[in-house]
Structure 1
Amino acid sequence: MAAALASTHAHWSSRFAFIMAAVGSAVGLGNLWRFPFMTGQNGGSAFVLIYIGCVLLFALPVLMAELAIGRHAQQSAITSTRKMAIEAGKSGKWSIVGWVCTAAGFLVLTTYSVIAGQVMAFSAAGFAGGFAQPDGATMFYGTDGVKMLWHFGFMVLTILVVSRGLKGGIERVATILMPLFFLVLIGLTVYSLINGAAGAALTYLFAPDFSAVTGQTFIAALGQAFFSVSVASAIMITYGSYLPRDSNIGSSSVLIVSADTLVALIAGLMIFPIVFMVGMDPAAGLGLIFTALPQVFSTMPAGNFIGGAFFALAFIAALTSSISLLEATVAFVEENASFGRSMTAWLLGGFAFMIGAGAVYSEAFAGGFVDVLSGQILLPLGGFLVAVFAGWVIPKSLMRTELSHASPGLFAFFHFAVRYIVPVAIGSILVLGLDDRFNAGRLGAMVGLG
């Protein structure tokens, strides 16, 4: 059965398609919203430097491990971890690594879709002239019934893409939307730098003040960096399973984390000039994107168009991330059931929609139970398990074979990191996350999406 699955497993049509899909998964609402306000809450540019260090030290090795695991087994996260463990002479129960990651990603999807629906509503409000008045956008997202419709619409879009498969759905959308995303991002950033307080924003982002750094700053940067690259949610194992055998995992991983970090920095250059121009609080959190910015757009020349474009940008980021979240679960069920891809996508997407519906009517449900379970327990636990699995369960020789393109120095760093550095760091996130010290707001569970 496993051999048959591997032989018919789909593959990316090109490296460009894989990079666009992987970057689209990593670049999510967290880059456009959470990274700027985390920067504001944790000392500005000092946080940025610590964050970049955490990306290189912690997120990059785990990303390389997940892509290698998926590429070797050519199956879903759960099946891949079971297969590799058995090949290594270890218990098939190590598939718990895949189970935890898959459950985490699916739970994130349920509430992520609700926030993404609000992004869709605000984009429509902008292009329809809803930002002409400070509270004009609320008519597009004012009641629970309307919120449910936007949540439903976003989830349907996600299901439609995933149901069409790797090449007909995921690849096609990623190769069209991600170049458009970068084009809109650059355009809005140039506009913001020209018309806003560019000097204050540049100083804030790139002139470090380490006097504001505390131990909590490192924890916040570590959490943001780890989750920002879409690891520990079964996505990158699944996407890695679609890689051909001759792909260079090391260079692709570096490119993915570089693009993800660059988007986060550019997002800061897009948002902070406007923030400082009007005297807003850079650490305003969720209110910054859904309350403060729409009020600013209402006073700006061409504010409706700029606001609509900004939320359209966020919509693209949300959609490419949600596609990857659903795909990770669909891939496993499709391997083990006879429903077919389309039916599997609709069943799982419908289930995610129903869980997310609870978030529409209950803030405590979304920001409490689901957020804590996915963001503060399952995602850190999944990252910890992936590092232990790659560093201690799978033989070093097998990992070296999968990372054969990596230089001796890069591989030595990778293996040392997944054995010793990452488990300690992610273990710290897991313990402190339970104390709710770095996961802020409803998107705390989805910073890797990121």
Structure 2
Amino acid sequence: MQAKGAHPSFTSRLAFIIVTAGSAIGLGNIWGFTYVAGANGGGGFVLIYLLALAFVAGPAFMAELLIGRMGKASPPNAMKKLREGAKAHLPWQGVAWMGLLSTILVLSFYAVIAGQGMYYGLVALQGGFEGWAEDAVVGLDASFRDAPLMMTFWSAAFMTATAIIVSFDIRTGLEGAGKILMPILFLMLLGLVVYAGQIGDMSSAVDFLFGFHDMQFGPRLFLDAVGQAFFTLGVGVGGIMTYGSYMGDDVNMPRATLWILAADLFVALAAGLAIFPLVFASGVDAAAGPGLVFMTLPLIFSDLPGGAFVAFAFFLLLTFAAVTSSISLLSPTVARLEEAGFRRGPSAAVMAFTVVTVSLLTIMSFADWRDFYPLAAIGLDGMTPFQLIREGVSNIVMPFSGLAYCLIIGWALKRGDVRAALPMKEGGLFTLWYGVMRFVAPAAIAALFIGAMLS
């Protein structure tokens, strides 16, 4: 039993790893990774993505977890507590508040994408997609995106499910959902990989993801790879920090982080191995962009044996992955409202309603605002509100917050306090990790920002 008034925590080390891995694993791995990897040519992008996980996003992920563990509060209060302890003068809480705003922005398009996945799953459950002609699939996508009320309904349905889970206490809601959803997600994904290997062109998919052909490295590729690494891990918006505050004292953070990063990488690559064999076997362009999941794959499912069942399994997988991440994205704002004296259930409901309201920007970007580029005057022509939110958060806010976390851990807090909180013994491994946190990760993020501005 947990003492009344004590800061909530997960029940065990395994529970923490499962739930936090679920936070990291989401639409970024299945929807985001596959279309960004496809758009950037596969192997070269994957190489930079792996390096970004190891030396940039991974250390920032661990830094955010550590701040949560040391602060034991919602992101703004955790940052405030550590700032006061370090006697620092910069407003660290500003980074946390920016992160909380970003959770709403990320969820606003997450809900729309996940809502469409839920709707497609329902269509597949009713026998849809199997044997469909191309115009039927195109028509389904067009009818969904031309109906703002329908998109709003499904976005609200997804956020209602998220809010219900978050409204329960930490162990019943977040931990309970993670223990159920994560094993199912892994089994479904492995099943789809096996199926794709039997039906599709696995050798071409492996060559595409891990072969290095005509690689053209430039600032945009590096920014996309690092942004995707941050997006798949969910670093920089406060969800990981909140979960870090729920971490038990018995958890060895470096070891747990390795397990979480391995699970995140496995799901991203497995998603690629589940999708690209089908793509190549069908002669479809891998660089189909964001429409890969909702336009290209349904066309492929229509020609497959048992296509309706495969489509249902895939969109159920997509929904489960979205839920495991959305509960972590909703949790930081709910935790902050709890600290302000509001009850958890109403707080979750209010924040879910806020997300659905903001999601209208993405909904209209898919509907009547397809050609509306609000920041065209400052050189961002061709970017709808959805694209501005998606790229702004993943390519700017998340890396910037990750940079701040690394600087706080590597420079502002005492080395001994950081080492004890991990915990790690003084010596080679800690010195290497601390050097990455102080020098490598901040320098890499700063160089990417400079490169992006000069490109």
Distance 2:362 2:31 in 1: 20
Q: Secondary structure at the match of 1:290?
A: coil
- Paired residue type of 1:17: A
Distance 1:45 1:180 in 2: 29
Deviation per CA, 1:217-273, whole angstroms, max 9, x where unpaired?
333222222332111010111000001123100001111111101111111110111
Report what 2:379 is aligned to: none
Structure 1 residue 302, shift from structure 2 partner: 0.4
- Paired residue type of 1:90: A
Structure 1 residue 407, shift from structure 2 partner: 6.7
Report what 1:121 is aligned to: 119
Report what 1:266 is aligned to: 270
Distance 2:203 2:394 in 1: 35
Q: Secondary structure at the match of 2:73?
A: coil
Q: Secondary structure at the match of 2:265?
A: helix
Matched, 1:341 2:344: yes
Distance 1:381 1:375 in 2: 10
Report what 1:443 is aligned to: none
Q: Conserved in 2, the CA contact under 8 Å of 1:372 and 1:434?
A: no
Matched, 1:65 2:84: no
Structure 1 residue 41, shift from structure 2 partner: 2.8
Structure 1 residue 389, shift from structure 2 partner: 1.4
Deviation per CA, 1:188-210, whole angstroms, max 9, x where unpaired?
11000111111111222223336
State the identity as a percent. Answer: 36
Q: Does 18-27 or 45-54 show the bigger shift?
A: 45-54
Distance 1:27 1:145 in 2: 29
Tell me which of 293, 318, 321 is aligned to 1:317. Answer: 321
Structure 1 residue 106, shift from structure 2 partner: 2.3
Distance 1:50 1:375 in 2: 16
Q: Name the TM-score, length of structure 2 as normaliser.
A: 0.89
Matched, 1:290 2:280: no
Q: Conserved in 1, the CA contact under 8 Å of 2:230 and 2:394?
A: no
Report what 1:86 is aligned to: 84
Tell me which of 339, 357, 360 is aligned to 1:357. Answer: 360
Tell me which of 395, 408, 420 is aligned to 2:439. Answer: 420
> Structure 1 145/401 Cα, relative in aligned 2: closer, same or farther at 3 Å?
same
Structure 1 residue 70, shift from structure 2 partner: 0.9
Tell me which of 187, 210, 222 is aligned to 1:206. Answer: 210
Tell me which of 225, 234, 240 is aligned to 1:236. Answer: 240
- Paired residue type of 1:114: V
Q: Does 11-20 or 310-319 show the bigger shift?
A: 11-20
Gaps (5+ residues) in structure 2?
Answer: 367-371, 373-383
- Paired residue type of 1:393: A
- Paired residue type of 2:17: I
Distance 2:47 2:193 in 1: 21
- Paired residue type of 2:48: I
Q: Does 421-430 or 177-186 show the bigger shift?
A: 421-430
Tell me which of 43, 46, 49 is aligned to 1:45. Answer: 43
- Paired residue type of 2:72: Q
Matched, 1:367 2:408: no
Aligned pairs, number? 431
Structure 1 residue 433, shift from structure 2 partner: 5.8
Q: Secondary structure at the match of 2:303?
A: coil
> Structure 1 293/426 Cα, relative in aligned 2: closer, same or farther at 3 Å?
same
Report what 1:401 is aligned to: 420
Report what 2:151 is aligned to: 147
> Structure 1 318/431 Cα, relative in aligned 2: closer, same or farther at 3 Å?
farther
Report what 2:376 is aligned to: none
Q: Does 186-195 or 55-64 show the bigger shift?
A: 55-64
Structure 1 residue 163, shift from structure 2 partner: 0.5
Q: Secondary structure at the match of 1:362?
A: helix
Distance 1:97 1:390 in 2: 14
Matched, 1:279 2:298: no
Q: Name the TM-score, length of structure 1 as normaliser.
A: 0.90
Matched, 1:9 2:7: yes
Tell me which of 183, 192, 197 is aligned to 1:188. Answer: 192
Q: Secondary structure at the match of 1:131?
A: coil
